[in-house]
Chain A
Amino acid sequence: MEQLKLLCELNAPSGRENAVRDYIIQQIKDKAEVKVDALGNIIAFVKGKKRPDKKIMVDAHMDEVGFIVTYITPEGMLKFTTVGGINTSVMLARKVEFLNGVKGVISSKPVHMLTSLEKEKMPDEDALYIDIGAESKQEAEAMVSVGDCAVFSESFENSGNLIVSKAIDDRAGCWAILDIINSEPEYDFYASFSVNEEVGAGAKTVAYLVEPDFAIVVESTTAADIAGVLDDKKVCCVGEGAVLSFMDRGTLYDKDLFDKSLALAKEKGIKAQVKSFVAGGNNAAGIHQSRGGVRTVAVSVPCRYIHSASSVASVDDVKSVRNLTYQLINKLASGEMN
């Protein structure tokens, strides 16, 4: 899991994916024909042992949620907006890091000074600011500019089979595809490492360029299997394997492909589960509508506290996602699964 740790620790909010892009290109440049499209997506043609019957594209997004500076106050405080969906509750009193290494904290009025009304309500995001310790606009501007992005600053922790980190969404997906590329795949396929998923613009151009017959979106998705949540609201469970989606807020998935993917997991003895709540969305939304339409399946790592500094996932689940993705590539490329 050293490589997953390394990937999670890279800072790459949407539109500023350079650190992850550079790392991935470094890792695959000898094993694939790599190009970067106009938006910054990596499109890699991976040579397998055999030529495929169908053209397969496998996508994971490189970007993570973050913060972008919109204004610097005369007192040297940074006003910001979020890049991607972040709940105010998981950003209050959190440490952030800019891409140039400058650290800051998201403000939080001391509990001693809150009115009883304030204690019961989340503050407006507009009321928050990032404090980098600067005492004036001039001092702040020497460190950070309007338009600069920050991400959560928290370490990667590993305890037994569980990992806690920022950016598991979707470095886990990036890891799975990298691992497949590194393990001498059976068939040629296209790998897409995409930008801007968290702002709803991921992988559309890649699908257009690659023009695949099938797409596999390798993702991370909300798991709500926590104390106090009823079974029908849990969405999916950490430790129960790769998550297959029949529907989310962006896509009503190809039912036949969904069914066959589930059957394939069973056949190959790969732990898998169904996403049992319609929520969230991912690059499948853009990919499945590309050109004349692309048959698309989403395979996800179940992840608690997604889009926070402390997402929790299981190493076994990440491996199940990798293995199911690998099996899907083989089955779809060979034309056995139509």
Chain B
Amino acid sequence: MKNDFNDVQNLDSLLENFLQEAPIEDQDFSYRVMQSLPTPSRWSWMVDVLPSFLLSAILFCGWHYHKIVVQSFFMYRAEFYGWLRDQVPSFSISMSYGTLAGLAALVFFIVMDKVTGEIHSK
């Protein structure tokens, strides 16, 4: 049968019929796609656990050896503050240990978050 391709409506319906085909149903394709997905590294669980593990280790050691830690800190405190005073004359010695500990924890979390984030994004 001859088609009148000059007829715009005829061409439109031809294109619709041609382009709107029956759905392709086969499970092999989805299986193939799933097989090609990147699998998580066997060590990826370590990345999730590492920050908590390190923090726990620090807290554990700090609790058990706090005397040594505190003594060491006091021992070097004067020297440290002296050095700090030389660097920043307006620095107040009244800065509490809590603030220092808080700042250290903050830096620790920021660094760990950045490190683990970068590892995850790879």
The yes or no verdict on A and B being binding partners is no
Q: Which residues of B contact A (CB under 8 A)?
A: none
